[in-house]
Structure 1
Amino acid sequence: MSEIEVSVLSDIACRLGEGPTYDARIDTLFWFNIVECKLLEHPLSGGETRVHELPLMASALADIDEERQLLVTETGLQIRDRATGRLTMLAEVEADRPDTRSNDARPHPCGALWFSTMSKTSEERAGTIYWFFKGEVRRLFSHITVPNSICFSPDGAIGYFADTRENRLYRVACDPETGLPVDEPVLTVDGNQMPGGIDGSVTDAQGTIWNARWGGARIDAWSPRGELIRSIRMPARQISCPAFIGRDARRLVATSAFSGMDEEARKADPHAGKTFLIDLEVEGRLDPPVLL
């Protein structure tokens, strides 16, 4: 376990902090407090964290262009106007399912988007991973309880995803031009012999998978073949998702959560729900805009 210095980037504690996304256009980190319907915005050049109230649950954000962002929400994909915050529905997905919400998501290098849904009560096998590209939505993988770890190799030829409840990470061959799977998923990491569950992940410029261990108070780095490279101790137990930040993508941040903790657990885990900066130089990479 590496003893890397980790500091608090934002001390706003989120019940379910998730979906950190760095916006190089404005040098700003965005993330969500999913169950409390909030979008958080933190300028890396300095200043306070802004909290935007949302009219529904949302869990992930992607860049579109200078005027618009794409939000993954409990009723589908919505366009957010950067200037006003106004939301406009782009594609309804499970809008008729009040029992489900969105969860993990990541743009593919070609500009497609993989995004997921799950039960609001974590019902077994109620989750799904979808693909969106240039206006089309397709269902990719179903019967997942807590879909997470959506990320891709730098060349777009491999996609990754996990079921946190199952605690297994899978890889699948993809068409680099479309981001669609072209084969069956293959088990890459079985996390059941380690503390915590496989949660959100990002891949760096070398294809290393940086994974948040929910309940494990750590971030793990895995090779594309599923070999553990290193682990970094984190100051909160429920680490949810990492992200690369900076226009050179040389730093890592990670969100966390205090979901499910009672008063005693919160006292024992005082940094739960905060967002952290990891003092480790990495060869990260930034996600491309999503092509509508």
Structure 2
Amino acid sequence: MAASILSDETCELGEGPTYDPATDTLCWFDILASRMLEKKLSGGQTRIHQLDEMASAIATIDGERQLLLTETGLHVRDATTGKLKLHMSVEAANAGTRSNDARVHPCGALWFGTMGKKAEAGAGAIYWFFRGELRLLFPAISIPNSICFSPDGKTAYYTDTAVNLLYRLDCDADTGLPLGEPKLFVDRRGDRGGIDGSVVDRDGVLWNASWGGGRVDAYAPDGKLVRSVPVPAVQTSCPAFVGHAADRMVVTSAAEGMSAKARRADPHAGKTFLLDIQVNGRHEPNVLI
């Protein structure tokens, strides 16, 4: 195996892994089960926090607070008690949508996506949030994914997994706002494996989880595929850099929509893995609310 099992807790839809170097803790989500999971990279049990609604991403505000992205908006979470306080509503009146992929820009702005709970065509969007301000960036997105940024903050990436085209666009390094129109970066139409979550390392290499492809693909800044790392679960969903030097990588996976036969053929579906590779990663910046 090219990966070891970091957590054998099976997620229906594992997503949103985020590592906090200050506590050596990885947090991730089982979106459909409204669960947040956390585990020390050094070992120990996986802790499970049952939530009142679907959530998909978390970012550090400071040593005491986190920002949690849920189906109703952005919530400030007390890192010690887990208590949530609504910070800003986003599509809260629309019971048919939920949150999905998200990533913090190097300046501290948050890009995040929403989508239909049944992945309805064009039901979602991608938003920008920074210092209390919210803007709609891209409407009519079916499955927003691969939100990530170059280390200097001058390039942003995103996809609609339903279309399977990965885009890049110029970005204001000081605000995280897009500049100009998106340009095609990678065309994966017809490929076995949808473009799911992504992260970008210190060298500008984009690492993408291939949903249905059972692998993580690495693309150079010019869009060339430079490496594929197999993962022992077909529905790989999102990678994250971990470790105090950000030199390791984890990836979540999902068992969503799989028949009993498919689950028997894919016994590790929904588990979270540590890849047997070294990477030149970087830690996520704090979000500025």
Shorter-chain TM-score above 0.5: yes
Q: Aligned pairs, how many?
A: 289
1:218 paired to 2:201: no
* Selected match of 1:121 from 115, 118, 135: 118
Partner residue, 1:177: 174
Deviations, residues 208-246 of structure 1 (Å, cap 9, x unaligned): 000000000111000122110011111000000000001
> Does residue 43 of structure 2 align to residue 51 of structure 1?
no
Identity of aligned residues (%): 60
Matching residue within 276, 282, 286 for 1:285: 282
Could you list the structure 1 runs, at least 4 aligned residues long, displaced by more than 3 angstroms after superposition. none
Match of 1:142 among 139, 142, 145: 139
User: Deviations along 1:58-96, whole A, 9 cap, x unmatched?
Assistant: 000000011111011000000110111111011100000
CA–CA distance in 1 between the matches of 2:2 and 2:196? 22
State the match for 2:68 in structure 1. Answer: 71
TM-score under structure 1 length normalisation: 0.98
Which residue number in structure 1 is paired with residue 234 of structure 2? 237
The answer to whether residue 32 in structure 2 is matched with residue 32 in structure 1 is no
Gaps of 5+ in 2: none
Tell me the secondary structure at the aligned position of residue 35 of structure 1: helix
Within the candidate set 267, 271, 290, 2:264 is matched to: 267
Contact 2:2 2:229 in 1 (8 A): no
| Alignment-derived partner of residue 150 in structure 2 | 153
Q: Letter of the 1:133 partner, please give it.
A: F
Instruction: Give the aligned residue type for 1:245.
Output: V
What secondary structure is seen at the aligned counterpart in 1 of 2:32? Answer: helix
State the Cα deviation string for residues 119-171 of structure 1 (Å, max 9, x = none).
00110011100000000000000111100000000000000001111011000
For 1:192 and 1:52, how far apart are their aligned partners in 2? 37
Name the counterpart of 1:250: 247
Distance in 2, Cα, partners of 1:236 & 1:47? 23
Over residues 29-74 of structure 1, what are the superposed CA-to-partner deviations in whole Å (9 max), with x where a residue is unaligned?
Answer: 0000001000000011221000000010000000001111101100
Supply the distance in 2 between the matched residues of 1:113 and 1:26 (Cα, whole angstroms). Answer: 22
- Displacement after TM superposition at 1:195 (Å): 1.2
Q: Secondary structure at the match of 1:264?
A: helix
Alignment of 1:93-104 (within 5 A): 93-104=90-101
**Aligned-pair Cα RMSD in Å:** 0.8
Q: Which residue type is aligned with residue 165 of structure 2?
A: R
Q: In the TM superposition, what is the alpha-carbon distance from 1:194 to its structure 2 partner?
A: 2.4
